[in-house]
Structure 1
């Protein structure tokens, strides 16, 4: 029986030209060999199964080849190449750093470096998984790596570059390997299938390449398994069955049900998927990848990122035209949250079904949100804008006919600046207004006149205008002054009313009803509070505990403004006083312990103590 060799070993590349998907590295190495510009240390880093160790072996074989080709490749016919292919070359040493990561292993390697090669030009040391070396081993390797003998070349390979010390990185020539593209993997698998006589179809090979995620070794391993499973025939159907992958056709049916808001159809489809043995997290993950592919199809610029079977590309494009980008983004958000919480869910199936229910009614929710049918929108208020006003002279009142004309003129005062509040009050021309607030800004101090209590003394009238200027530009200003004077004459001078318990209690109860209408829990604290008038403008509100005191303090400003308006007293003030009621503590009788009972007995009957001492009894309390 012939010994079976897996495809990853049987078809391992032997020359730089046969390396798949790493042309940027193989071209550099061939040019370095051809121009005799080899570095003394190389670092190959990248994902698993992309050809790091393979390129290291090809490099080691090529630099020792006795008859290299003009392109920089090994001849595979000389003694050095044959011994390398047979695994008997003494110039190539491979070390697995995962199992030989101690200082002693590196010291043994350094001892071997001192010996020159017996045949060939170079001794090549390939250290795989070099990131597994300990810090002490790295430090022991530093000096040799920096200044090796001229015949020694080190090739380090790793999948985790960030774990290597910076002192090692600075001494190496670094080559970053990339993942193998989907098309390169398919072409390589197709070539191997032809050599092995395997019947394949394009969709099946694309599914294998997609599952391998850019790792050629994984792709070859999957191919070997499917060939053993099917007896030499690789198709899309048996590939899905062997890899336990859910067909994209299910996802297309699922998105159609969601677009139609057909919850029953989506639930029945998931039940069918569940009966096939697929776990809920794989369904969520697969559907998220499906939604991502649809989102990519919305824009032709990123069409190259779509890695799907070629037969489904047209179907993806048609489905993407029926869905909005915002809808797909919302689907991805819901699926990401569901997949994140899947492990913590006790009922896995219900968790997935809840996600499907959200997705089925997602489009309706987005439409309602965009239409604003059920969303309470805040009223949009135009941004307030400042209005420019001119500085006018002080307001004057026309003199009475019976008053003397010769009145001495007072000292001139600076012209006040009329605020927008005055202008707005005048332009509305509402004679029924009961009060007027005039704010002036003198040079030294700002004075605010609100509801004056004394009669207003108008300033002396200005000198009469010239006869010829009766129709000057200030004619409208004179009418403005007259209107302000009329409003001023009609204003009501109101005095503060003193506090009375009846009116205070009535206003207090009215504020409590207002709190109840607002469903404010503070109304209970206001209801149990006791009021006590101190003088005509102030009173105290007493609270019997800290909670009521905090509620009263929290609503202090609100109730103060309310009472000032209700009681017509602008000087009203009140304070909150905490008077805690005494709590009656109940006396609870505690049963006596055994020792206390014994002490009480011997106090009443001393003979018991004497009896215990005579009998030499010991008590265990």
Structure 2
């Protein structure tokens, strides 16, 4: 009975034409041999299992062949080729740098280089595999020989980690970069081997093997041998998935459908079925992320070539990709990426995966509400209060005659003066202004000139507020339109809404301050010291003396606004808080001393304290 030989060795390429997926390398080497332009040192670098050592052996055999054909290939008949194939050639030496990486090993190699090859061979070839494993001293000992070798010596270095090789070595070699073997080339090569071995293999199974190998032909052939032994000579899609522990893409399509329809129970049941089959949670997360990545690729025809899936699922992928929003796919990838990163740190692995599925199940609704790109604009529901528009008093359209709000009874003459001020303000297109006119008898005016039923209070203030709308500002116009619609809706919904009046506003403001006092809230003093100025029927301004009082009132603004809206039965009531220096205000309260100042004061009164501190070598924490 013949001894079994693995496919990776049995079907190892013997000439350049049988090398898979490296045509840019083989063509260059054949032309160099044909034109007699061989370099004295080559460096083959690239991923594992792509043919670096194989090409090095083919090159060594071809340059010593006595009867090369017109295409630059070895004849495999002459004495040199036969001895090479049998492994008895004295002109080709292979060295494993992983186990021979010392300076002594390189010195031994240098001494061998001085010996000329046999008369039957033209070149003496040294193939050094895994050359990046050499130590720095070994590299330095090899530099001189590598730069100026004998005319019959050729060095072929192979490595998977080019960055670990010294630049002085790289500069002395002709570098060839090998690339990963594509899925198509791998499938074609596996199909050829299956035909030679009379193995029945489904193309979908070969595609799964090619994807699992990730561009490494040696891994693909090893997987093929294992599955052939497992299935007793027949490769099918199902048994290939079972042997490689790969989750069927049909599960991902079912999960996608359940998550798009927000059927969380179905998604959790599907995951439970997957978990019962023995698939780990990180495998499910990684596979689902790759599945969603493929759907995202399907949305653009320019990158459709990047879709590497089984052909029987290709049309299904394209249909699902076109029917899924790109924003959902990108957000889902972010959720899965975060879940995969934190998977190892999670104690309950299953719950961690289920939380990711819950997020994905309600991801579409979240996109719709948050207004992310592709998820539609923000929904403005009828039940949502437009808080952002209530604090913009300048949005109100201005009448030709400005509205005058008087905080206290005033005389006719002061009212006429206020009207004149308003007329002048309306003629000039300026920014919103706030003017104050003190009410009371004017100089030189009799006291009995007042026609009001109540006597004018001395020092009362007249607040005149005007708002000029800029015609060229489209954004302000749109905000004003929304505000008008909201105001009209409030008027139509509740006829009991009451406008702001000085007495009612002061009463409601004091009532809220009393609530704060009962709750021992420090903001009560700021509310009591604030001056209220009514702007219109729905807006007013709270004027404070400093930034501290402003911050205290701002901290209560939300609850205070809701309280006032409830008191006036008007959801449009709002106010702003400003800081305004007041003339004749009291002197500022003395700032309390800090710890450093307190210590200095104590030392000034009691010098022995400082002496005690110095003797004990104490340090104070200021």
TM-score (norm 1): 0.67
Unpaired runs of 5+ in structure 2?
372-376, 395-421, 444-456, 462-505, 530-544, 554-575, 599-622
Contact kept in structure 2, 1:564 and 1:570, CA below 8 Å:
no
Contact kept in structure 2, 1:297 and 1:317, CA below 8 Å:
yes
Tell me the secondary structure at the aligned position of residue 588 of structure 2.
strand
Cα gap change, 1:511/1:572 in structure 2, threshold over 3 Å: closer, same or farther?
A: farther
Q: How far apart in 2 are the matches of 1:272 and 1:343?
A: 22
Q: How far apart in 1 are the matches of 2:38 and 2:389?
A: 74
Q: State the Cα distance separating 1:118 from its structure 2 match.
A: 1.5
In the other structure, the counterpart of 2:303 is 302
* Aligned partner (choices 561, 568, 589) of residue 575 of structure 1: 589
In the other structure, the counterpart of 2:379 is 373
Contact kept in structure 1, 2:106 and 2:141, CA below 8 Å:
yes
Q: How far apart in 2 are the matches of 1:559 and 1:198?
A: 83
Mean Cα deviation higher: 571-580 or 327-336: 571-580
Q: How far apart in 1 are the matches of 2:69 and 2:520?
A: 92
In the other structure, the counterpart of 1:329 is 330
Contact kept in structure 1, 2:547 and 2:579, CA below 8 Å:
no
In the other structure, the counterpart of 2:38 is 38
Tell me the secondary structure at the aligned position of residue 95 of structure 1.
strand
1:397-452 deviation per Cα after TM superposition (whole angstroms, max 9, x unaligned): xxxxxxxxxxxxxxxxxxxxxxxx998565389xx98648xxxxxxxxxxxxx99x
Cα gap change, 1:381/1:320 in structure 2, threshold over 3 Å: closer, same or farther?
A: farther
Contact kept in structure 1, 2:143 and 2:168, CA below 8 Å:
yes
Cα gap change, 1:136/1:424 in structure 2, threshold over 3 Å: closer, same or farther?
A: farther
Contact kept in structure 1, 2:202 and 2:235, CA below 8 Å:
yes
Tell me the secondary structure at the aligned position of residue 321 of structure 2.
helix
In the other structure, the counterpart of 2:72 is 72
Contact kept in structure 1, 2:127 and 2:155, CA below 8 Å:
yes
Cα gap change, 1:433/1:82 in structure 2, threshold over 3 Å: closer, same or farther?
A: closer
Contact kept in structure 2, 1:49 and 1:218, CA below 8 Å:
yes
Q: How far apart in 2 are the matches of 1:111 and 1:422?
A: 109
Contact kept in structure 2, 1:56 and 1:126, CA below 8 Å:
yes
Q: How does 1:370-519 map to 2 (within 5 A)?
A: 370=371, 371-373=377-379, 378=388, 424=425, 426-427=427-428, 435=436, 513=513, 516=516
Contact kept in structure 1, 2:514 and 2:524, CA below 8 Å:
no
Q: State the Cα distance separating 1:578 from its structure 2 match.
A: 2.0
Cα gap change, 1:138/1:571 in structure 2, threshold over 3 Å: closer, same or farther?
A: same
TM-score (norm 2): 0.67
In the other structure, the counterpart of 2:127 is 126
Tell me the secondary structure at the aligned position of residue 75 of structure 1.
coil
Contact kept in structure 1, 2:523 and 2:552, CA below 8 Å:
no
Cα gap change, 1:271/1:280 in structure 2, threshold over 3 Å: closer, same or farther?
A: same
* Stretches of 4+ aligned residues off by more than 3 angstroms: 373-382, 421-429, 432-436, 492-496, 509-517, 519-527, 556-566, 568-573, 579-582
Cα gap change, 1:580/1:435 in structure 2, threshold over 3 Å: closer, same or farther?
A: closer
Tell me the secondary structure at the aligned position of residue 137 of structure 1.
helix
Q: How does 1:287-298 map to 2 (within 5 A)?
A: 287-298=288-299
Q: State the Cα distance separating 1:166 from its structure 2 match.
A: 0.8
Contact kept in structure 1, 2:550 and 2:579, CA below 8 Å:
no
Mean Cα deviation higher: 315-324 or 333-342: 315-324
Unpaired runs of 5+ in structure 1?
385-420, 437-449, 456-491, 497-505, 532-551, 583-621
In the other structure, the counterpart of 2:548 is 555
Q: How far apart in 2 are the matches of 1:188 and 1:197?
A: 14
In the other structure, the counterpart of 2:235 is 234
Cα gap change, 1:378/1:526 in structure 2, threshold over 3 Å: closer, same or farther?
A: closer
Cα gap change, 1:380/1:512 in structure 2, threshold over 3 Å: closer, same or farther?
A: closer
Q: How far apart in 2 are the matches of 1:188 and 1:111?
A: 42
In the other structure, the counterpart of 2:147 is 146
In the other structure, the counterpart of 2:11 is 11
Q: State the Cα distance separating 1:573 from its structure 2 match.
A: 3.5
Cα gap change, 1:565/1:337 in structure 2, threshold over 3 Å: closer, same or farther?
A: closer
Tell me the secondary structure at the aligned position of residue 93 of structure 2.
strand
Q: State the Cα distance separating 1:562 from its structure 2 match.
A: 9.2
Q: How does 1:356-367 map to 2 (within 5 A)?
A: 356-367=357-368
Cα gap change, 1:351/1:121 in structure 2, threshold over 3 Å: closer, same or farther?
A: same
In the other structure, the counterpart of 1:182 is 183
Paired residues, what number? 458
Contact kept in structure 1, 2:21 and 2:182, CA below 8 Å:
yes
